Chains A and B, each alone.
Chain A
């Protein structure tokens, strides 16, 4: 059974750095064709892809946010960490991590999401 779960702070101050952890089970990020991505949804708005890391350590970032994002993986711990710098109230959103499967090119398994509020 594949599961993913996001963890991190629920409240972040403006200009601070957000660090979120995705802990997963039921698959390995060392398996060819597997990736883990981060997607967010601001309240009342659409889903937005942020970043993705592949089994081979290739990393991809949303171009508009690339300068603020970093994604890393710890295969031994089954974790993927997303950091976002210089947080703004507009970054208030529910942040999801999801498993990406290259052969089928989809995000098949998702975590439940974690709401992050940016406020002073």
Chain B
């Protein structure tokens, strides 16, 4: 059971917009720790997409954006493409557990 809660799955049609939520608590996101987002494709290493809640890593398309409010964060993907299909993880820091990841969200482009 991850301390950061993500929906197990989301889906969308090509061109649509999807959002992935990441709900934390007062011991992690809610206390001000930043949230990072990673994309994990099968057989590949995790790839950093968003860091510091809202900052897009160099080379990441501007279709990806992050936000944070209170003890939760969200990743939004607009103009959905087939290549976006994969797993997405939020990550933050927890006062008791140090670095923590969310349970992961499987994105399907239908």
Contacts and interface: CB of A to CB of B under 8 A. Distances in A.
Interface of A: 37, 39, 41, 46-49, 52, 60-63, 96, 98, 104-108, 110-113
Given A105-B51, A108-B57, A47 B89 contact: yes
Interface residues of B, number: 25
Contacts, number: 61
B42 to A, nearest CB: 11
B54 interface: no
Interface stretch (B14-22, B69-77, B90-98): B90-98
Instruction: State the main secondary structure of chain A at its contact with B.
Output: strand
Given A105-B34, A110-B45, A46 B51 contact: no
B48 A107 contact: yes
A46 to B, nearest CB: 5
A113 B47 CA distance: 12
B100 interface: yes
A108 B89 CA distance: 14
B52 interface: yes
